[in-house]
Structure 1
Amino acid sequence: MADVPPIPTQFSTLAESEPDAPAITCAGRTITRRELDASTNRLARAYGELGVGQGDYVTIVLPNSIEFVQAVLAIWKLGGIPQPLSALMPDAELAALLELRPPKLIVGRNDPNGVSRSVAADFTPDAALSDEALPEIVSPVLKAMASGGSTGRPKLIEAGIDSRFSPLAGYVMGSADGDVNLMSVPLTHNTGFTTMAIGLVQGHHLVVMPRFDAHEFLRLVTEHRVSFLSTVPTIMQRLLPVYRANPDSYDLSSIRRLWHVAAPCPPSVKQAWIDILGPDAVWELYGGTELQALTFISGDQWLTHPGSVGVVVAGEMKVLDDDGNECPPGETGEIYMRRSPGTSPTYRYIGATAKQRDGWDSLGDLGYFDEDGFLYLNDRRVDMFTVGGRNVYPAEIESALSAHPNVLSCLVVGIPHEDLGQVPHAIVQADGLDEATVIEFLSDRLDGYKLPREVEFSDTPLRDDAGKARRSAVRDEVIARLQAPSHR
């Protein structure tokens, strides 16, 4: 990577070549490459005056916006490490993440721990600061993404690469220089953040949605002739009824490549998008933020291997049974992965350790390979599930529940949901609590998508004396009960 310049240098070169090309559009406002480059030079100097330097963490707590992209680019220009977090995150959850690696600066929020300096979301640098180019400097870590921990505590996932991010990442995904790139997922999500980085080094026009809305998504594709995007199955599913209600109102023919990631895609949703865009345009990626290994599958491949998430294109994967034996084709087990031998580490955890078996990592997924080497996902291990493409760990919710003095024991499982894939369902043993009180208590401690959709109460302990619970059996019982006619 030594011959690849850092992202700011690559973007500045693009700005010099086409200064008036649109760089970002958000909420009806557009800034050019020249404006983005100059404004982030000034912003970087302002952050530098607040103490940010090479290798320093800067936590960004902003919604999708032009300001979010400006903050990230300015941090990279100082050699800092951007660490994005949801602007909707409660203070208690934010505080726990900040404790793992206190940042030099927080953008968009005050530090609930009272440790780090902060600037407001509408922070404006002093106009007297220069907007000329800064000396080239490399950030030692491209990004540090946040994730809930399977132990009930959050963790950070540092990228194994620095800010010398190659455009090759985009080319491999079929992205072209100068694409119009629709950002429909949160930029704090690894999908959104990585797609943004690809766009910056390939000179994309980033069309950023402040929040997802189906009509607006389709309108933006039509108006801006969007050619490339990465999204999640929940969004794909929410778009379908709106598009089908009035397909002549929208023109999606410009989309050359649509990637979906982060969660299993219902086959009917996948088929619908192949029918709308054609199989050449619809691609899927399976892997974690950790990037030990990846699978790709094209629409054409999916039509001959329906339900698959593809073949391994980077790193290595295998499926093991509970005893650690490799499963034959067609037999379900836990998916383990590792980087290719001789390559550099792709990630580093802060606040957690990876689940490993002989140097192979597991993300908690169950699945199998077929005879042709195509991977299929069956389910997640019960200690993790996805809500609209975002990972949720029951232990994290249980940890927050257990902080209430009236809670004696608790258990959280993921149950099916037709829109979001799965949602949390909590069972609580407690005195003097009702569902509204529990939800209100958790709302101050957890992001909204982690809140249980239903809370039921038990008169008996939910774990044995060793702290163990029959989580799979409980989940099956809950699902059966909720599907019973008397519950409908």
Structure 2
Amino acid sequence: MTFRPEDGFPLSEIPKTYAADMGDTVVVRADADTLTWEQLYRRSNSMARGLIAAGAAPGRIVTLLLPNSTDLIVSVFACYKAGATPQVLSPRTTPAERDAILKIGAPAVVVVEPDGPVDDPAGAVTVLDLSDGQPDADMEPRLATSWKAPTSGGSTGRPKIIISGRPAVTSGFDPDVWGIEPGDHSLITAPLHHNAPFGTAMSTIFLGGSVTLLTRFDAERTLATIDEYEVTWVYLVPTMMRRIMALPDEVRRRYSLHSLRSAWHCAEPCPAWLKRKWIEWLGPERLWELYAGTEAEAGCTIRGDEWLAHVGSVGQVTWGEMKLLDPDGNEITSPETSGEVFMRVSPGTDATYYYIGAEPHTRDGWSSLGDMGRFDADGYLYLHDRRSDMITVGGVNVYPAEVEAALIEHEQVLTAVLIGLPDADTGNRLHAIVQTPESGGATEAELRGFLADRLSRYKQPATIELVHQSLRDDAGKVRRSALRAERITKVSP
């Protein structure tokens, strides 16, 4: 493989260019299904023609209601060739959430699975519908005005689309941030309808690497896949890390992970005890963490050895700029003082995104995702919680992240979510929803004892609800508003 794309190379030309050198090489695996560069090149040509005939064009979105699959990767490149912006949505999205996103995005085409849900949106088509009868030869190149259009905010009932500010051309930004190198073999353990899995999978492909997509997460299967395909780069979320670490020692020892150069995690807080175990297992140089928003104005990264010196930090600012503001909008310059995290791109840099369906929360050119945090004297950022998640109990503010962090330090707690439920006396009462294993999990009394010397009395949950089903989606995100709404409904007369 001799080709290396320079910044600005059209994404539509990626399959053709690599197919010329390594057409029979597998670029994507998903379960037993494989896709070579030549197949990606030819199939995306055919589908692109079908998309254009259906109305896809520069400046338009094409919505892909597809799971992790070779068809999904073909569809993304077909969008680039048609000049459209791909928007990957989960086929398991509820009709209400899906329709709200489609309403604001007004996609030119909606692509669905052939055997997907029976309530597909009107006018939806399959990959086969679009490709059938279409030639697979070269076509006149087009350029999509944006290379991705992820969605966010569905858990609040106010979905928004985050349109990338970069057109469909290559950039060294994403590979540099994630430490992805040319020719890497990446294992993507989460669905591509989430931003980080999509960005890292595509960055690997843009650099001529290969990607294995898990269609369903399984702890041991993840380790087996790393060894079988000599994976060099893997994406995880802490929920997955916990499940892998919960495997018996003799099971984990079956897999050497000798090929793995780096393992990255993000999307949710990682308990200190869990991160220490992973550092001990892989070595500190191989474990990385990233903190950023899909908007990508600024972000932090931290390697395991740095984390050991700054336990609990998400790292120093790696790109863009960040600062903390107090409630009155004054900048906080002293270390160890909490405030709201505001970000902006580095001066002279183009905008990294724009919203459809929402307006950013800004102050004087700086924007906030609502996170609260503090910097230490060395410039390392420590996150506390989302401003919008704060719960006021009897006039006292409680940030759920602190209580949740204390709960998940218990090794029998898989996930914890703290919400506020209405209380006639204090306005809100703290209610903890705690996921434990189906057998051998902690009891409510045990958890209360565990929290007793870890949290001040006013931060102690008034009620604890033990559950066994996951409280996070397949990318590690908590649907806090939905959890609260369910419980309010149950207690309402």
- TM bucket, shorter chain: 0.7 to 0.9
Task: Point out which structure has higher relative CO (alpha carbons under 8 A, 6+ apart).
Answer: 1
1:189 aligns with 2:190: no
Query: Which residue matches 2:51?
Result: 47
In 1, Cα distance between equivalents of 2:184 and 2:281: 20
Partner SS, residue 242 of structure 1: coil
Change (3 A) 1:161 1:243: farther
Query: Which residue matches 2:451?
Result: none
2:324 is matched by which residue type in structure 1? V
1:356 aligns with 2:359: no
Deviations 1:433-466 (A, max 9, x none): xxxxxxxxxxxxx9896342862569899xxxxx
1:368 aligns with 2:374: yes
Give matches, 1:291-370, under 5 Å: 291-327=296-332, 328-370=334-376
Query: Which residue matches 1:269?
Result: 274
Query: Which residue matches 1:58?
Result: 62
Please report how far the alpha carbon of residue 424 of structure 1 lies from its aligned counterpart in structure 2 after TM superposition: 7.2
Q: TM-score, normalised by structure 2?
A: 0.78
Change (3 A) 1:457 1:39: closer
1:84 aligns with 2:93: no
Query: Which residue matches 1:212?
Result: 217
In 2, Cα distance between equivalents of 1:196 and 1:222: 19
In 1, Cα distance between equivalents of 2:331 and 2:279: 34
Deviations 1:410-442 (A, max 9, x none): xxx89837466444758479xxxxxxxxxxxxx
Please report how far the alpha carbon of residue 354 of structure 1 lies from its aligned counterpart in structure 2 after TM superposition: 1.0
Query: Which residue matches 1:165?
Result: 170
Which of 289, 292, 305 matches 1:287?
Answer: 292
1:227 is matched by which residue type in structure 2? T
Please report how far the alpha carbon of residue 167 of structure 1 lies from its aligned counterpart in structure 2 after TM superposition: 4.1
In 1, Cα distance between equivalents of 2:390 and 2:22: 46
Preserved contact between residue 364 and residue 384 of structure 1 (Cα < 8 Å): no
1:452 aligns with 2:456: no
Deviations 1:165-207 (A, max 9, x none): 2245314432221111101011000011101220121111110
In 1, Cα distance between equivalents of 2:390 and 2:191: 21
Deviations 1:38-80 (A, max 9, x none): 1111111122222212222111111111111111111111110
Range with bigger deviation, 146-155 or 206-215: 146-155
Change (3 A) 1:240 1:13: same
In 2, Cα distance between equivalents of 1:426 and 1:323: 25
2:483 is matched by which residue type in structure 1? P
In 1, Cα distance between equivalents of 2:105 and 2:194: 19
Please report how far the alpha carbon of residue 2 of structure 1 lies from its aligned counterpart in structure 2 after TM superposition: 9.6
In 2, Cα distance between equivalents of 1:309 and 1:447: 22
Preserved contact between residue 83 and residue 145 of structure 2 (Cα < 8 Å): yes
Give matches, 1:406-485, under 5 Å: 416=404, 418=408, 421-423=415-417, 427=421, 450=479, 451-452=482-483, 455=487
Query: Which residue matches 1:95?
Result: 99
Partner SS, residue 257 of structure 2: coil
Change (3 A) 1:167 1:10: farther
In 1, Cα distance between equivalents of 2:156 and 2:215: 32
In 1, Cα distance between equivalents of 2:124 and 2:283: 47
Please report how far the alpha carbon of residue 361 of structure 1 lies from its aligned counterpart in structure 2 after TM superposition: 0.9
Partner SS, residue 244 of structure 2: helix
Change (3 A) 1:320 1:34: same
Change (3 A) 1:208 1:123: farther
In 2, Cα distance between equivalents of 1:246 and 1:115: 44
Deviations 1:232-272 (A, max 9, x none): 21211121112635222212121101111122221112111
Task: Provide the aligned C-alpha RMSD in A.
Answer: 3.0
Query: Which residue matches 1:32?
Result: 36
Query: Which residue matches 1:465?
Result: none
Preserved contact between residue 167 and residue 202 of structure 1 (Cα < 8 Å): no
Deviations 1:94-124 (A, max 9, x none): 1111111211111117999998631136646
Partner SS, residue 45 of structure 2: helix
In 2, Cα distance between equivalents of 1:245 and 1:79: 50
Give matches, 1:101-250, under 5 Å: 101-108=105-112, 117-120=123-126, 123=129, 125-126=131-132, 128-148=133-153, 152-242=157-247, 244-250=249-255
Which of 11, 14, 35 matches 1:10?
Answer: 14
Preserved contact between residue 150 and residue 383 of structure 1 (Cα < 8 Å): no
Partner SS, residue 131 of structure 2: coil
In 2, Cα distance between equivalents of 1:420 and 1:382: 24
Percent of matched pairs sharing the same residue: 39
Partner SS, residue 378 of structure 1: strand
Q: TM-score, normalised by structure 1?
A: 0.78
Partner SS, residue 164 of structure 1: coil
Change (3 A) 1:197 1:426: same
Please report how far the alpha carbon of residue 36 of structure 1 lies from its aligned counterpart in structure 2 after TM superposition: 1.2
Name structure 1 gaps, 5 residues minimum. Answer: 386-412, 430-445, 462-488
Please report how far the alpha carbon of residue 23 of structure 1 lies from its aligned counterpart in structure 2 after TM superposition: 0.5
Query: Which residue matches 2:459?
Result: none
Change (3 A) 1:420 1:189: farther
Preserved contact between residue 62 and residue 107 of structure 1 (Cα < 8 Å): yes
Preserved contact between residue 218 and residue 250 of structure 1 (Cα < 8 Å): yes
Preserved contact between residue 62 and residue 108 of structure 1 (Cα < 8 Å): yes
Name structure 2 gaps, 5 residues minimum. Answer: 392-399, 424-471
Preserved contact between residue 339 and residue 345 of structure 1 (Cα < 8 Å): yes
Deviations 1:265-289 (A, max 9, x none): 2111211111121111111111100
Partner SS, residue 354 of structure 2: strand
Please report how far the alpha carbon of residue 230 of structure 1 lies from its aligned counterpart in structure 2 after TM superposition: 2.1
2:183 is matched by which residue type in structure 1? G
Please report how far the alpha carbon of residue 12 of structure 1 lies from its aligned counterpart in structure 2 after TM superposition: 2.1
1:334 is matched by which residue type in structure 2? E
Preserved contact between residue 112 and residue 120 of structure 2 (Cα < 8 Å): no
1:254 is matched by which residue type in structure 2? S
